[in-house]
Amino acid sequence: MIEIYFNYLVYGWIAFAIITFLSLFFIKQPYGRHASDKFGMMIDNKLGWIIMELPSPIVFSIFFFLGKEPHTSMHYVLYALYMIHYINRSIIFPLRTRTNNKKMPLLIALAAIFFNLVNGFVNGWYLGNHAISNEPIILVCLGFLLFIVGFYINNKSDHILLNLRKDGDTGYKIPRGFLFEKITSPNYFGEIIEWTGFCLMNIQIASISFVVWTLANLIPRARDHHQWYLEKFSDYPKQRKRIFPFLY
């Protein structure tokens, strides 16, 4: 019975992702360069980033270790991959940012907390209470390779963005080099590759929902970033795509 209710929850979660994806083509997410106080109370950007991302690894860990399924080495590999991403995203990345005195809407942080609580629960509970799906070894290896490549692309791109602004700088610049020569948001592209690889290593409803949500969140963000650069810089490279090289 618990399994049935859980599946209903995840199906509803995926449906919500699709609705969110469609709505974000009409509503620009007010964070970073798009931040606006018209969405209510503003909080420190670094603090907001930490408190909105940290619930994911915490909740994921709780339900993973409380799960009744005996944990195999593959369970721990998937757990480690999830935690590597989120420790970087929730602690290391915000501490590296040079966004002193920048603000973000509290509403955005609360929405992200909600997402991370549900996503952490869905993936932690499933992984903690189920055997690993019997994927062909070549698919598992491909998924692992994709995760590593995606993590590298994501972090390499973040490094370039973080170093665009030197100490004391407040303006924006056009990022150059690496995959920025092909797309506006290689950091988002890398994250999509990460979670696609994660899913291929253990294809099941929870990991599929994570991929769907990653696409639903990041494709509209990339579109907004791309349009912002085109409007902000007259010399922005017109050949760059938004998030997928040569495609979109």
How does pLDDT run across 218-238, given as a tens digit for each residue? 999 999 999 999 989 988 998
DSSP-assigned letter for residue 238: T
Please count the structural domains in the chain.
Answer: 1
State the DSSP H helix or E strand holding residue 171, giving kind and residue range, or none if neither: none
pLDDT at 102 over 90: no
Residue 29 in any domain: the answer is yes
Residue 143 in any domain: the answer is yes
Q: Give 159's pLDDT tier (boundaries 50, 70, 90).
A: very high
Integer CA distances (angstroms), 21 to 13, 45, 151, in order: 12, 24, 23
Burial of 81 (0-12, 13-18, 19+ CB in 10 A): buried
pLDDT at 196 over 70: yes
Burial of 64 (0-12, 13-18, 19+ CB in 10 A): buried
Residue 106 in any domain: the answer is yes
Residue 120 in any domain: the answer is yes
Angle, vertex CA 237, rays to CA 233 and CA 239, nearest 5: 145
Q: Give 100's pLDDT tier (boundaries 50, 70, 90).
A: low
With a pLDDT cut of 90, the percent of the chain lying above it is 69
Distance CA 145, CA 151 (A): 10
pTM of the model: 0.90
- List pLDDT tens digits, range 62-94: 999 999 999 999 999 999 999 999 999 999 988
Domain residue limits at 83: 2-232
Neighbours of 60 (CB within 10 A): 25
Q: Give 105's pLDDT tier (boundaries 50, 70, 90).
A: confident
pLDDT at 58 over 80: yes
Cβ–Cβ < 8 Å for 107, 44: no
Task: For 42-177, list the strands marked E by DSSP.
Answer: 42-44, 103-105
Distance CA 21, CA 111 (A): 14
The whole-chain average pLDDT of the chain stands at 90
Neighbours of 43 (CB within 10 A): 17
Averaged over 10-18, what is the pLDDT? 96
Residue 126 in any domain: the answer is yes
Q: Give 61's pLDDT tier (boundaries 50, 70, 90).
A: very high
Q: What is the pLDDT of residue 189?
A: 97
Residue 174 in any domain: the answer is yes
Averaged over 31-47, what is the pLDDT? 67
Residue 147 in any domain: the answer is yes
b/e per residue, 191-220, with b = 16+ CB within 10 A?
bbbbbbbbbbbbebbbbebbbbbbbbbbbb
pLDDT at 21 over 90: yes
Q: What is the pLDDT of residue 191?
A: 97
Q: In the structure encoding, which two tokens stand for residue 127, read together?
A: 């992984």
Residue 248 in any domain: the answer is no
Q: What is the pLDDT of residue 180?
A: 94
Angle, vertex CA 237, rays to CA 153 and CA 234, nearest 5: 130
